[in-house]
Structure formats: structure tokens, C-alpha cells
Structure 1
Amino acid sequence: MGFASIDDLELPAAFDAHVHLRDGEMSQLVTLTIRQGGVNQVYVMPNLVPPVTTVQQCLEYRDRLKAIEPNVEYFMSLYLHESVTPDVIREAKKAGITGVKSYPAGVTTNSSSGVVDYKTFYPVFAEMEKQNMILNLHGEVPSTPPHAHSSNTNGSNAITILNAEPAFLPTLKTLHTLFPNLRIILEHCSTAAALEAVRACGRAVVGTITAHHLSLIIDDWAGDPFCFCKPVAKTPEDRDALLQAVVSSNGRFFLGTDSAPHDSRKKRGEDKIAAGVFTQPNAVGLVLDALEKGVERGVIQEASVTTQVLEGFLGGWGRRFYGIEDGKAEKVVLKKQQGQIADVLKKDGIGVEVVPFRRGEKTWSVTWK
């Protein structure tokens, strides 16, 4: 029986290698949705306000998350900042912190304290390589105005949200060349060029792919603030390249949803739209839906969506790269079109609410075994 004809699946619980759980009230609201999406292990981003730059902050943050939802395993990261030194890396390794996340300054939500010059951090990267820690890269270059005269790799004077990822890729190549054994993840790949850049590197470099980038193109977010994220969704050809990478990468790409909740007022009620798509409550189902649509359009072959591919992309390949165990070998049963995506996520006593991706639509239901 082919994938498109299957109405129910039993799979190992997923590992989501890129989540934003925020803090305070928002964290209270969204952390409880992790298991709803079929996930029992997550890699947590550190771009809080203020950012998580010390080992103590990181461990305290993990404790807050555990207090909200103790049935999820949280793998933690530090925010790459001038205060993160080789000594901090050694301390972080001893404390069980998994990696360090790099944000170019000003490129996305809560990134104002991010990286201006990667050369500054070469001693940090060298120590991370020695300690076998992971460098997570938000692979974009900050936008520049059209009249700027700085040169860049795409031959234009301006960086926009459409070419910000391709313009970053030479930095990825440089870092891998200088630190060939440093485990690097190019996060939330959104272009065919990003996929090719990862493939051109050694096995120490991999990439994550989100659920929403498997579905969206530029027209979607241009008309809907709840589909606007960084990096933005690109062309149909880029989306289709991502779908093909899911089924053909042999482990070079795996799921990192980049689920990024924002209060609904920041998505449509303020002068500037917040960048982020919230997919956490339906993470696995949204991936399956996207693959099914890919089969229907002839972008991927039905026979290529195997159980091995699904188990690998949704958890196995990410766990292998991170060197983590499979989360108590829990399993989930998914049923097609039996899940209902909420119109809005809210909770009594909490002053924020979040609109999920594909609000109000049907997807796969998740039942834990």
C-alpha cells in the first residue's frame, strides 16, 4: 500500500531539533503542546529577552520548562554572544548543554544581540570543535538598503529577505573549511541553494527543514501574517527541493520545526509583523500532509515516502547527529484527517494567545501508545 493510501501510521515519537518555547506566560501556553504534535524530545532555542548566554541561565530555563511539561526531554543551547568564551564552552559541555545558536545581529526575532563578525568567535568555534558541541546557524545575512555599496556574493548591492539565505552560504563554507570537525547545522533551510551548500560540505554539516517550509511559497506569506517567518518561504521550486531532500537526503536533513509562537496581536495588530510560524501542536501531521501534497503534485514519488524515511526525518536522523537516545522508545499512532487544528491557542488566566499554522484545517491526529 502506498503512502497516499495510508489512513493511519504508527511511528516512533519525533525529535524536533529546533523549537522556540519562549518564557513566562507564552511558555506556559506553548510548552504543553509539544506532545500534542507527536514529539517527546526537543532542542530549545536560546533567544529569550535577555538571551540565554550563561550556563546558569540555561539550566534554570530548562528547569522552568520541565516544571511545565515533565514528559518531554529538553536539549539546551546557549546564545552566541561576546560573553560566550572558550571557558564558557567548557563549562557548558560539563553541564550537559548541547550546542550554541548563532543569530546574525538583527536578522530575526530577539536577535539584536547577535553576531556582527564571525571571526571574533573563531576561538569559541575551535573549543566547540574540541568539545564536540554543535553550532546551530541561522543562515541569513541582515538586510541592507538598496543604496548600500557593500559587495556581497549575489552580485547585488542590496540584501533582502529573499536573498538573505543565499548570501550567507559562503560563511557556512568558510566555517566548515576552518573547522572541518565542528558539527554544524544550517537551520531551517529554505532554498535549493542552501540544500546544495550543505551537501557540498563534509558529513559534519547537516541541515534542518521545517514543517511549514515544506508547504509554503512566497505568495502565502505575502497575504497572511501567520505564514510570515524568517527565513521567508521562497519559490515553488525551492519548496519542492525541500520535499525532495526529505526523501532523498539519507540523513543530511531532518526535522526542526522552528515553531515560533507570537501573541496574535504582534502578528496583525502592530506596525511591524513578528516573524514566526507556530506549528508545535501539529508538527508531525503537518509534515505528513506536505509529503502527501508533494506526491499528489508529482514532486516526489509515492514509493520514496517509506517508513525508513519517515522515522529518519522525524527523529532518527536528528537523534543520530545529536548523539541522543530515542526518548524511551515511545510511539505515536497517527490517523489521517482525524485531527483538527485550532483556530487559536489560548488558556484561562494567560494573557497571550497564538494562532497556529493552517488554523481551522484538518490534519493527522496523534495518539500516544
Structure 2
Amino acid sequence: MALAHLNGMALPAAADMHVHLRDGPMMDLVTPTIRRGGVNTVYVMPNLVPPITTVAHALAYQARLQALEPHVTFLMSLYLHPDITPQTVRAAKAAGITGIKSYPAGVTTHSEHGVLSYEPFYPVFAAMEQADLVLNLHGELPPSAGRDITVLNAEQAFLPTLHDLHRRFSKLRIILEHCTSAAAIAAVESCGPTVAATITAHHLNIIVDDWAGNPHNFCKPVAKLPSDRRALLATAVSGNPKFFLGTDSAPHQAAAKRADKSAAGVFTQPNAVGYVLDALEVGVKTGVLNSSDVTREVLEGFLGGFGRRFYGVADERLERIVLVQPAEEVEGVLRSRDGAVEVVPFRTGQKTWRTRWV
């Protein structure tokens, strides 16, 4: 076993700094799976229908989530929208809301109300900088045949925008969400300490060939080339505090994940930490990583410590998890009691590392 030294290792509970928990029956089904993945702190994305653009909506949503799982800390965000003003930013800060998420218009699930141009939001960004709220960026440009922008290079085409926003608002904390490419890693590394990035569990595991033809592996931004995956794996074990776990776990009804028309999103919540370990183990077996690269210190940082530090949140629960070598297969489907909601998890039928609480 490539990572035998991890079996039985105790770590602080993980923090997943990018999750989609939906609303209604889907929320009821997936929210209780957070702790199954070894996680007790999550940063919740606001792209509901309608999107979360007010403090009242965010707090009401948080209360519903907390009622479902009182043993998880839910960090809340707003959706960058023309209704967001500097006054909204100040009210959000006072209410304990953590950040504001930007979606480019039309690039992914529920992004219909997303950003067409960042310039109108400069006063909002200035207010966020002053209030010390985080700007979370879905870093892609919309597809454009005239500019040769497709799902494969939409992230790289966005990177000049990241640099421009960082230059204009140098004290604004910015997270480039769900990095998929070596170019994105390099861009974040070249920025100052106020810019960080999340890396997902599924992007550590897959490349373009794994989602082409498999709707359950299809997400936005899409997984890229083997060289990009190698860069992500190396970054995850680098100990660089700019990079930390954000799974972007995004459940969809199984019927919406079809080969002919697939909703964008990979559901990883129930095995968040396990999937990271699976990817690192494959990295060691294929020679991309050395087993000595995967240390307790590295895992503590990437799985939670770096994210909590960047957001300025403490793990007040002080809980710990133990890593357990693969012993179970990922379930075939997660189903509500009445059968109305069905979600297919990532890597269904394959063995995965597990976590247990201590």
C-alpha cells in the first residue's frame, strides 16, 4: 500500500472551503453527509434559485442547514449580483457572512445571473476590501467561438482578470476557486499573500479523458491534461498555504447526469477526505509523488489548516478524525427515503479511504 504510513493517523477535522448543498429535498439528503467525509466546517456557495443576494436570505439558509446538521460550522456567502451594494457588504460583515461569490454569466449551474463585466462592481470590491470580506471567483470566461475560448481553456483565459483585480484591490482577499490547470497554479503563486486558491478532490483524481463520455465526472471547470493533474497533486503536498481543499461537491439528480445533456457538478461530499487520499495514493504509485511527500503536516494544512487560516476562522469544535485504509466501496446511489431524490457519488463502486471520528 503506497500510503501505509497514513493508516490510523489522527488529524484535525477537515474544512471544505467550497460546497454546494442546494435547497429543499436535495439539501435534506446531502447535508447530513458532510461529516461522513471527515469534515466539520464548510464554506457554502450561494447559487440557489433564486440566488442568495441578501443578508436575510443567507442567514435563513444557514439556519436551515444548521437545523439539519448542528455539528457542522456553515460559513455563508452572497452571490455577486447588481443588487449587491457597498451597504450590502457592510451589513454582511456585521451579520458574520464570510464572502461574496462571483460567477461569470452562463458558465456553470445556476450562473444565469452572473457577471458580464467586473467594472460596475469596483465600488463593491472596495467596500469588501475595507470590510475584509473574501471575494470567491469562479475563474472562467464564457465560451466564445470568436475568441477560441472553450471549456478546455476558459480558466486560463480568465487569469488576466484575476491579476487585474488583484492589482486594483491589493488588500482584497481573493480565492481562485477550483483550480484545474498548471497555469492557474502559477498565476496564484505569482500574486501576493491576499490571493489563494482551492483545489477539489475530483480534479486531483481525473483528467479530460475521465469526464469525456462519463457525465458523473463532468463539472465546470472541467478536468484538464495529465500535466495539469500532476501540477495539482504536487501543489496539494507542497505545504504552500495559498492552496487548500474546496471540494466543489455539487449534487444533481441522477436523471440530470446524462451523456446527451449533463448538468455540471461532481458529488464528493460523503468521501471528501477519502477521495483526496485516493488521488495522492495513485500519485505515489505512478511516480508523480513520493510517499515521503505525504506527511501529517502536509495533510493538516491542505485539508483544513490553510483554509481556516486564510478565512480567519478557528475550529472551535477541536474535533479529530482518523484515516482508515480502503475497506469499503463507494455506494452506487444516495437516495432519499421516499425515492424522489437520487444522486450518484463520484467513483461509485470503487474502494476509497475512509475517516472515523475520535
TM-score of the superposition, structure 1-length normalised? 0.95
Write out per-residue CA displacement over residues 177-230 of structure 1, whole angstroms, 9 at most, x where no aligned residue: 000000000000000000000001000000000000001000000021000000
**Which of 191, 194, 202 in structure 2 is aligned with 1:204?**
194
Query: Aligned residue for 1:52?
Result: 52
1-structure distance, mates of 2:13, 2:162:
31
Q: Provide the alpha-carbon RMSD of the alignment.
A: 1.3
Q: Shift of residue 302 of structure 1? A: 1.5
Query: Aligned residue for 2:242?
Result: 252
2-structure distance, mates of 1:229, 1:118:
24
Q: Shift of residue 4 of structure 1? A: 4.2
**Which of 281, 285, 293 in structure 1 is aligned with 2:282?**
293
Q: Shift of residue 334 of structure 1? A: 1.9
SS at match of 1:64: helix
Deviates more, 1:8-17 or 1:252-261: 8-17
2-structure distance, mates of 1:127, 1:81:
15
AA of the residue aligned to 2:304 = G
Is residue 109 from structure 1 mapped to residue 109 from structure 2 by the alignment? yes
Is residue 180 from structure 1 mapped to residue 170 from structure 2 by the alignment? yes
1-structure distance, mates of 2:232, 2:195:
17
**Identical positions, percent:** 62
Cα contact 1:25–1:350 (8 A) shared by 2 = no
2-structure distance, mates of 1:327, 1:34:
17
Is residue 228 from structure 1 mapped to residue 218 from structure 2 by the alignment? yes
Query: Aligned residue for 2:351?
Result: 362
SS at match of 2:297: helix
Write out per-residue CA displacement over residues 107-151 of structure 1, whole angstroms, 9 at most, x where no aligned residue: 000000000000010000000000010000000000013xx2xxx
Cα contact 1:3–1:306 (8 A) shared by 2 = no
Is residue 169 from structure 1 mapped to residue 159 from structure 2 by the alignment? yes
1-structure distance, mates of 2:48, 2:338:
22
Cα contact 2:137–2:176 (8 A) shared by 1 = yes
Cα contact 1:4–1:295 (8 A) shared by 2 = no
Aligned length: 358
Query: Aligned residue for 1:152?
Result: none
Write out per-residue CA displacement over residues 134-176 of structure 1, whole angstroms, 9 at most, x where no aligned residue: 000000000013xx2xxxxxxxx22100000000000000000
Query: Aligned residue for 2:302?
Result: 313
Cα contact 2:93–2:133 (8 A) shared by 1 = yes
Is residue 279 from structure 1 mapped to residue 250 from structure 2 by the alignment? no
AA of the residue aligned to 1:92 = A
Query: Aligned residue for 1:130?
Result: 130
Is residue 69 from structure 1 mapped to residue 69 from structure 2 by the alignment? yes
AA of the residue aligned to 2:279 = A
Q: Shift of residue 2 of structure 1? A: 7.7
2-structure distance, mates of 1:301, 1:28:
40
Query: Aligned residue for 2:19?
Result: 19
1-structure distance, mates of 2:337, 2:248:
26
Q: Shift of residue 5 of structure 1? A: 4.4
SS at match of 1:8: coil
Cα contact 2:89–2:127 (8 A) shared by 1 = yes
Is residue 302 from structure 1 mapped to residue 302 from structure 2 by the alignment? no
Q: Shift of residue 348 of structure 1? A: 1.0
1-structure distance, mates of 2:328, 2:42:
22
Query: Aligned residue for 2:82?
Result: 82
Cα contact 1:262–1:354 (8 A) shared by 2 = yes
Query: Aligned residue for 1:191?
Result: 181
Structure 2 segments unaligned to the other structure (5+ residues): none
AA of the residue aligned to 1:245 = T
Write out per-residue CA displacement over residues 219-266 of structure 1, whole angstroms, 9 at most, x where no aligned residue: 000021000000000000000100000111421100000000000000
Structure 1 segments unaligned to the other structure (5+ residues): 149-156
Cα contact 2:321–2:357 (8 A) shared by 1 = yes
SS at match of 2:237: helix
SS at match of 2:228: helix
Deviates more, 1:65-74 or 1:51-60: 65-74
Cα gap change, 1:83/1:350 in structure 2, threshold over 3 Å: closer, same or farther? farther
Q: Shift of residue 362 of structure 1? A: 1.2
Q: Shift of residue 349 of structure 1? A: 2.2
Cα contact 2:273–2:354 (8 A) shared by 1 = no
Q: Shift of residue 305 of structure 1? A: 0.9
Q: Shift of residue 340 of structure 1? A: 2.8
1-structure distance, mates of 2:274, 2:328:
8
